[in-house]
Amino acid sequence: MPPVASAVGRTARPNIDPAEWEQRVNLAACYRLIEHFGWTDLIYTHISARVPGEPGHFLLNRFGLLFDEVTASNLIKVDLDGNLVEEPDAPMHKAGFVIHSAIHGGRDDVDCVIHTHSKAGVAVAAMKDGLLPLSQHAQLFYGRVSYHDYEGLAIDIDERARLVKDLGDNPVMILRNHGLLAVGKRIPLAFSNLFNLQFACETQVLAMAGNAALTLPAAAVSEHTARLAVASDAPFGTEWPGLLRKLDRIDPSYRT
């Protein structure tokens, strides 16, 4: 069993590179937002982001902290081989390392990886047909959702190659019987992708619970919607400044 984090706060390091500090602040904010929206699983699941200017290094949560305890300074830095770069004794969850190192090592275009075990996400992950194009939110990912079969707790290094292969070039993946995964070129886009995927899963669970006949849009309409979602003027990710303002009103300690 990995050691548990013994401290919530860490002293901010004034000599840290400004680009890395900004990344840390945004990543800590992402953890707080996942907590705010109720998508956490106690201390489990993870969000990671690359360290600017340090190829092969990414930031991850210190295992043992609740998501509302994550701050910019208590994130840990890990390399793709599982080595802790700055704090060799910091607690790290192996399953979190396996999943996130796989994507960071296999997708150069991905800056941020988010993995959750939300109730609606796990429910859809257990459905044989996966995500259905029932809602506008689901339409955004039409033809752009990957699936990865359950292999047990993600602690097998060999699973990394299969995770990357199954994700392909898509922005989201449903880990069957497990949960959700979303990626993005930047933290704001990754969060937006996860938000929309989560919304689509919640809508699907509610719609199917009604036990009524369901309406599916024509494939051509779904394809058109998905194309609009990746257009150069698509707004996804622009919600971020407003989300940071919300966090600052609630508890700005994520910035420390």
Owning domain of residue 211: 18-249
Q: How many other C-beta atoms can be found within 10 angstroms of the C-beta atom of residue 51? A: 20
Tens of pLDDT, residue by residue over 52-78, are 999 999 999 999 999 999 999 999 999
Can you give the pLDDT at residue 13?
59
Tens of pLDDT, residue by residue over 30-56, are 999 999 999 999 999 999 999 999 999
Identify the CATH number of the domain in which residue 242 sits. Answer: 3.40.225.10
Question: Collapsing DSSP states into helix, strand and coil, what is residue 182?
Answer: strand
Q: pTM for the complete prediction?
A: 0.91
Q: How many other C-beta atoms can be found within 10 angstroms of the C-beta atom of residue 70? A: 26
Does 8 score more than 60 pLDDT?
no
Residue 13 lies inside a defined structural domain of this protein: no
Can you give the pLDDT at residue 160?
87
**Which H/E stretch holds residue 181?**
strand 179-184
Return d(Cα 57, Cα 47) in angstroms, integer. 14
Question: How many structural domains is the chain composed of?
Answer: 1
CA-atom Rg of the chain in angstroms: 18
Tens of pLDDT, residue by residue over 131-190, are 999 999 999 999 999 999 999 887 777 788 999 999 999 999 999 999 999 999 999 999
Backbone angles phi, psi at 80, to 5 degrees: -70, -10
Residue 72 lies inside a defined structural domain of this protein: yes
Residue 9 lies inside a defined structural domain of this protein: no
Residue 6 lies inside a defined structural domain of this protein: no
Contact 59, 26 (CB under 8 A): no
Residue 98 lies inside a defined structural domain of this protein: yes
Residue 151 lies inside a defined structural domain of this protein: yes
Instruction: Output DSSP code: residue 44.
Output: B
Residue 1 lies inside a defined structural domain of this protein: no
What are the residues whose beta carbons fall under 8 Å from the beta carbon of 228, sequence distance 6 or more? 234
Residue 10 lies inside a defined structural domain of this protein: no
Does 7 score more than 60 pLDDT?
no
